[in-house]
Structure 1
Amino acid sequence: MDAYLGLFAISFLAATLLPAYSEVVFAGLLATGHAPWALWAWATAGNTLGAALNWTIGRWLLRFQDRRWFPVNGAGLKTAQRWFQRWGVWSLLLAWAPVGGDALTFIAGMMRVRFPVFLLLTATGKGLRYAVLLGLVEIGRQFWP
């Protein structure tokens, strides 16, 4: 159980703005014989909840946009809003991406995307990412037993 909780924790951290690589832990646990679909479920849940934390912070932090210390200036915020309005909530399917995915979930909170929609799209994208990784590791096992 410790392995699954550890994967959950690293997956959660990987979805926040902190640097962490859950894919390495996921693949390592697969290689050591842990249950593949249990790993998929724990990693997807942790990564999705980490993204939900970003959404919450984005939603909460927006009330301070007029403060000097706010992390995004007015022009940057307008650019992010225009980008998000152009691509819409469907872009949340890409929240798993290593570059920009975390920021996307933060921006979704700032843009007040409804939480159920956010959660569904983000979990779908993240779940698909771990499913692809699961498949790649299984294929790799055939060539390097």
Structure 2
Amino acid sequence: MSDILSLASLFTSSFLSATLLPGSSEAVLVALLVAGVGPTWLLILIATMGNSLGGLTNVILGRFFPQRKQSRLQGKATAWLTRFGPAALLLSWLPLIGDLLCLLAGWLRLAWGPVIFFLCLGKAIRYIVVAAATVQGMAWWQ
């Protein structure tokens, strides 16, 4: 597979992984790191961009939901967002919980600047940790 297609597949997988659709962006990132497709920083950047845009898609979708009575699970996530504000989006990388946090951030109409900052930071930290563990593991096996 060409490098461009590999990077595009990483972006697509990262984007889809941030939505309710299934995806395994960490596996794609690890595979590309092991294959030596590109510099580590570029792979982290592409994965972070795709996953962040997917998360922001959830925020935008959340803004379309009318503000009505909320379920019990929404109540807990809303309490987190109310208590910690946009900083709770540092956990937006978590499966399912992160999707709900992003949707609720939009539903609560949180300010865009802090939402984008904390959402991107949380997702970047996850990919940095995965990449660092992969690179360390590769060095250990050599």
Residues 21-55 of structure 1: CA distance to partner in whole angstroms, max 9, x if unpaired? 10000000100002211111110000000000000
Give the Cα–Cα distance (whole angstroms) in 2 for the partners of residues 87 and 120 of structure 1.
14
Worse-superposed segment, 19-28 or 76-85: 76-85
Give the alignment's TM-score, normalised by structure 1.
0.87
1:44 aligns with 2:76: no
Tell me the residue number matched to 1:9.
12
- 5 Å matches for 1:80-95? 80-95=77-92
| Residue-by-residue CA offset, 1:71-120 (whole Å, 9 max, x unaligned) | xx534344443332123211111111224111111110011111221111
Larger mean Cα displacement after TM superposition, 98-107 or 15-24 = 98-107
Query: 2:31 aligned to 17, 28, 51, which one?
Result: 28
Select between 107-116 and 97-106 the one with higher mean Cα deviation. 97-106
Aligned length: 137
Specify the alignment match of 1:143 in structure 2: 140
Q: Give the Cα–Cα distance (whole angstroms) in 2 for the partners of residues 38 and 94 of structure 1.
A: 23
What is the CA RMSD across the aligned residues, in angstroms?
A: 1.6
Distance 1:21 1:50 in 2: 13
Task: Find the counterpart in structure 2 of residue 111 from structure 1.
Answer: 108
Change (3 A) 1:43 1:27: same
Give the match's secondary structure for 2:95.
Answer: coil
Q: 1:19 aligns with which of 14, 17, 22?
A: 22
TM-score of the pair, normalised by structure 2: 0.88
**Structure 2: gaps (5+ residues):** none
C-alpha spacing 1:30/1:103, structure 2 compared with 1 (3 Å)? same
Could you list the per-position Cα deviations for residues 48-71 of structure 1 after superposition, in whole angstroms to 9, with x for gaps in the alignment? 0000000000011236x4xxxxxx
In structure 2, the residue matched to 1:69 is none
- Aligned mate of 1:55, from 52, 59, 77: 59
